[in-house]
Amino acid sequence: MDLKTFTSPNGKKRPIFISLLTLFTLLLSIAFLVFGILLFFSIVTFPVNKWVALFAGMILSFGFFLLSKGFFTLQNWARTCLLSILIVILIGILILQIFDFSSAVFAGKEVLSLGEIFSNFGKFLLKTILHATAPGIIFFFLYKFDDVFSETPKQRHDFDRIIRNFLMGTALSAILIVILIFFFTFQESELAITEIGLKKLLTGTIWRPGAIIGTENAQFGLVPMVIGSIYSTLGAILIGLPLSLGTAILLAEIAPDFVRNIFRTSIELLSGIPSVVYGLFGMVVVAPMIRQIPVEGNTTGFGILNASIILSIMILPTITNITEDAIRAVPNSYREASYALGATHWQTIKDVVLPAANSGILAAVILGISRALGETMALIMVIGNSIAIPKPINENPLSVIFATARTLTGNIAVEINYAAGVHRSALFFTGVLLFVFLLLINRLANRIMRGNKTK
């Protein structure tokens, strides 16, 4: 076979550039093999396990050998492969340069002045162009020579299949992540279950992880945290449900269109506010306000009341949106029938529409509860984080809302950074508890909603 005049199945002559590429990839293949062998026998050193080096060398060498063979016979897949590799290299160069540029401009005490930014930008361009020249030229020419390459229909079919399997892999990634989460959190919590025991964890009322000097009898009872979570969620629902329900009825039935639009955009805005801002607001505005309430023993302004207030605002958009959708989903025929029977608008809403939207409203409330239970940062900032079971601060049992508490989520967030051993395992157990519980709640809500849709 005459190298220079080999013609591709298309009948085109192979350009010299491609021949050079073939040679280049062949050389790379040999180089990887040699390098791998050298590393294995420690003739050259590199901070990598020698078996890994040998293996990697062999694989890379084989890969590049295939690539060179592909170029020799002008296969399309070789071209696609090399193009993708080059794209990755080019993007990598770009990213590294951007990091450098960004660090130079922003990392100092102050951002650099415009002139300096400009000159740094110039440096960035210069370095990028310098580094990207070689890969870029190869890329450009390879791209241009596309009609020299060919592929058989079988190859196209195979490629399709490869893509399909690859995509299936990505689809399975979602379940892989869930499995990983299950696996890791369960595994980490195992120590707690064996050493402390489920009974003590779930029914114990004292949480003292045992950093107390000398005391080895650490206690890991989760009951205070469970009660804290329940109380704050309950409070949030008590305050938030009327508001959300009222707003939803308003938007779905009563308000004119322009009011509806204003409300809709506002509620969307509400749902976009980060939770830390709510926490900040609770600390700076709500806490002083609560302190003003003349109740005996009310001193800090932090506690369940504060948490309930800001939590209710946070779940407002969730409940309102779903409830409104549920109300709108009630067929108009119901309403018409009701009016025909002579009912007023309010009677219609009260006796016909709302009961019909029942399941949707229930689903909305459940989702709101799940959101409230899962909230972390905002609550840490306003609930006080004390480890005691919230108790009324004076004779009136209702004053428990002024007590400070800690939620299950807060427990994890506050202590995870430094927990070790059994303590850490107990925190993971808390996570598992939350995870499983919220899972069940969400499935329930989804099932109710789906049942609603098929009506």
Partner 1 sequence: MSRKFFVLLSTMLVSALILGACSTAAEAAPTAEEVTAPAEETAPTAEPLSGTLQIAGSTTVQPLAEVLAETFMEANPDVVIEIQGGGSSVGVTSAGDGTVAIGSVSREIKSSELETYPDLAIYTIAYDGIAVIVNPELDIPSLSVEQVRGIFSGEITNFSEVGGPDAEIVVVSREEGSGTRAAFEELVMVYKDENGETVETSIVENALLQQSNGQISTVVSTTPNTIGYLSFGYLSDAVKGIAIDNVDPTVENVKNGTYSIYRPLSLLTKGEAQGLAKAFIDFILSDAGQEIVAEDYITVQ
Partner 2 sequence: MNQPLTKQRELIRLKKTSREFKNKRRRFSQTIAFAIIWTLGITAIALLIWIIGYVFIKGFPTINLEFLTTRPAGGFDGEGGISTTIVTTIYLVVFTIILAAPLGIGAAIYFIEYANEIKNRNRFAAWLIKTARTGVEILAGVPSIIFGLFGFAVFVSYMKLGFSLLSAGLSGACLVLPVIIRTTEEALLAVPESYREGSLGLGATKWQTVTGVVLPAALPGIVTGIVLSVGRIISETAIFWVTLGGSYRLPQNLMSSGRSLALHVYMLATETRAFDKAMGTSAILIVIIMILNLAINVSSKYFQKRLIGK
Query: Binders of partner 2 among 367-406, rule CB under 8 A?
Result: 370, 373-377, 381
Q: Is-contact 54 37, C-beta < 8 A?
A: yes
- Considering beta carbons, is residue 34 or 277 the nearer one to partner 2? 277
What H or E segment, with its residue span, contains residue 408? helix 408-415
Per CB under 8 A, does 418 bind partner 1? yes
Q: Any bridge partners for residue 405, and if so which? A: 384
- Considering beta carbons, is residue 101 or 149 the nearer one to partner 1? 101
Q: Torsion angle of alpha carbons 75, 78, 84, 88, nearest 10°?
A: -160
Per CB under 8 A, does 364 bind partner 2? no
Distance between CA atoms of residues 259 and 97, nearest Å: 50
- Considering beta carbons, is residue 303 or 431 the nearer one to partner 1? 303
- Considering beta carbons, is residue 105 or 243 the nearer one to partner 1? 105
Per CB under 8 A, does 56 bind partner 1? no
List the single partner that 388 binds among partner 2, partner 1, none, CB under 5 to 8 Å by kind: partner 1
Per CB under 8 A, does 85 bind partner 2? no
Query: Which tokens go with 199?
Result: 């009974």
Per CB under 8 A, does 413 bind partner 2? yes
Distance between CA atoms of residues 219 and 216, nearest Å: 9
Angle of helix 304-329 relative to helix 223-249, nearest 10 degrees?
40
Q: Is-contact 445 370, C-beta < 8 A?
A: yes
- Considering beta carbons, is residue 195 or 268 the nearer one to partner 2? 268
**Residues 246-275: x/- map of binding to partner 2 (CB under 8 A)?**
xx-xxx--xx------xx--xxxxx-xxxx
List the single partner that 8 binds among partner 2, partner 1, none, CB under 5 to 8 Å by kind: none
Q: How many CA atoms lie within 13 A of 409 on its CB side?
A: 20
Query: Which range binds partner 1 by CB under 8 A, 78-86, 115-123, 362-370, 442-450?
Result: 115-123
Distance between CA atoms of residues 247 and 324, nearest Å: 8
- Least distance to partner 1 from the beta carbon of 378, Å? 15
- Least distance to partner 2 from the beta carbon of 326, Å? 15
- Considering beta carbons, is residue 54 or 357 the nearer one to partner 2? 357
Per CB under 8 A, does 301 bind partner 1? yes
- Separation in Å, CA 49 to CA 29, 34, 41, 168: 21, 16, 11, 33
- Separation in Å, CA 217 to CA 210, 212, 213, 387, 423: 7, 9, 11, 17, 12
Per CB under 8 A, does 89 bind partner 1? yes
- Considering beta carbons, is residue 36 or 384 the nearer one to partner 2? 384
Q: Is-contact 81 139, C-beta < 8 A?
A: no
- Considering beta carbons, is residue 298 or 318 the nearer one to partner 1? 298
Per CB under 8 A, does 430 bind partner 1? no
How many CB atoms sit inside 10 A of residue 448's CB? 19
> Which amino acid type is present at position 349?
I
In the region spanning residues 421 to 440, those forming contacts with partner 2, defined by CB under 8 A, are 427-428, 431, 434-435, 438-439
In the region spanning residues 34 to 53, those forming contacts with partner 2, defined by CB under 8 A, are none
State whether residue 432 is helix, strand or coil: helix
Query: Which range binds partner 2 by CB under 8 A, 12-20, 129-137, 196-204, 241-249?
Result: 241-249
Query: Which range binds partner 2 by CB under 8 A, 7-15, 95-103, 142-150, 398-406?
Result: 95-103
Residues in the chain: 455
Task: Identify which of 141, 8, 137 has the alpha carbon closest to the alpha carbon of residue 71.
Answer: 8
Query: Which tokens go with 276?
Result: 């830390």
- Least distance to partner 1 from the beta carbon of 183, Å? 21
Distance between CA atoms of residues 401 and 432, nearest Å: 27
Positions touching partner 1 (CB under 8 A) are: 89, 92-93, 96, 100, 118-127, 129, 131, 208-215, 287, 291, 297, 299-302, 384-388, 391, 403-404, 406, 414-415, 417-421
